[in-house]
Amino acid sequence: MKTKILLDTDIGTDVDDAICLAYLLANPNCELVGITTVTGESDKRAMLASSLCKISGKNIPIYPGIENPLIIEQLQKKAQQAKALNKWSHEKVFPKYEAINFMRRIIRENPDEIVLLTIGPLTNIAVLFSIDHEIPSLLKGLVTMAGKFDLNAPAYSNVEWNAMGDYHATEIVYRANVPFHKSIGIDISSRVTMDSNEFKKICNHKLLMPVLDFSKIWFEEWDVITFHDPLAAALIFNDSICKFEKGLVTIELEKEKERGLTHWFPKSEIKKHEVAVDVNREKFFEEYLSVFK
């Protein structure tokens, strides 16, 4: 039986969102029931998602979501990779202001069947959980690419972007009670990288052709791709890729320079969260590349 996935993404900034979506669309074990976008220029982010869906030949519902955080200012205002859209066929018109209603409806129509995969700031999810308190319990589970959990692995900063981008939303989501909530932090995902030359060599599938175009914009500033989001997706289908520990995650809201920091308590008596504490890099790439054969 295929796994039903609902994807919430900020595709269009870091190229790993597009790499993740290509994997989900190519995966024969994935039933992608919908895509919602989040942060600035959510319409353009929806267009980027649409370009991949069109190449896959799949008619996936796509809904632009909330562009601004609940309280704080939006720091991610542009979808830079939209500059490459003119090369690829894509939808240009999407339902407006319907993302939360769509998520609510699709989850209620498929109780206990949908894994909600979040690979962007958590604004959409926080609003969804706030307006319908039953939704978390109706999910099969929640997989979140967010946070940093002090696991002595390389990472860009102590406060990870998806958790920090709307830290009030992050706090709401981590308070929710879901059947399972797995988190992949940057201290683990940062172990899974490719340089630009390596990445170009693997982009020989039709679904990866637009991703390669999007990556050119990314490579203008960075020479390395970190597979943050694809790792979160891949472990849904192969749970041997990552090792997890159960415990409690709380979100820092008070200290000005640490807002959005994920505090990890593996020894807590409350075991409502699972955090990735190790990754098998070889198993990840084997799983990721297997769907493009």
Q: How far apart are CA 45 and CA 62, in angstroms?
A: 10
Mean model confidence pLDDT for the chain: 95
- What residues pair up with 144 in beta bridges, in sequence order? 118, 183
Q: Which pTM value belongs to this model?
A: 0.96
Distance CA 165, CA 173 (A): 13
- The pLDDT of residue 157 is 67
In the predicted structure, residue 150 carries a pLDDT above the cut 90: no
Closest C-alpha to 202, from 61, 9, 19, 3: 19
Could you give all domains of the chain from N- to C-terminal order, each with its CATH number? 3-290 (3.90.245.10)
Contact (CB, 8 A) for 178 and 137: yes
- Percent of the chain scored above 90 by pLDDT? 89
Find out whether 37 and 51 touch, Cβ atoms under 8 Å.
Answer: no
Paired tokens of 122: 């958590």
Q: Which pLDDT band, with edges at 50, 70 and 90, does 158 fall under? A: confident
Fill in the DSSP letter of residue 190: T
Tokens 């353009």 correspond to what residue? 44
What pLDDT was estimated at residue 221? 85
Flag whether pLDDT at 155 surpasses 60.
no
pLDDT at 152: 60
Average pLDDT of span 89-97? 95
The per-residue pLDDT for range 230-289, each reduced to its tens digit, is 999 999 999 999 999 999 999 999 988 889 999 999 999 999 999 999 999 999 999 999
Q: Is the pLDDT of residue 75 over 60?
A: yes
Q: Is the pLDDT at 218 greater than 70, yes or no?
A: yes
- Structure confidence by residue, pLDDT tens digits, 97-126: 999 999 999 999 999 999 999 999 999 999
Q: Are 85 and 52 in contact (CB under 8 A)?
A: no
Task: Give residue 159's pLDDT.
Answer: 84
* pLDDT recorded at residue 193: 95
The pLDDT score that the predictor gives to residue 151 is 63
33 Cβ partners below 8 Å, 6+ apart? 4, 5, 6, 60, 61, 106, 110, 114
Beta strands in 177-265 (DSSP E): 181-184, 193-195, 224-226, 242-251, 262-265
β-strand 262-265 against 242-251: which pairing, if any? antiparallel
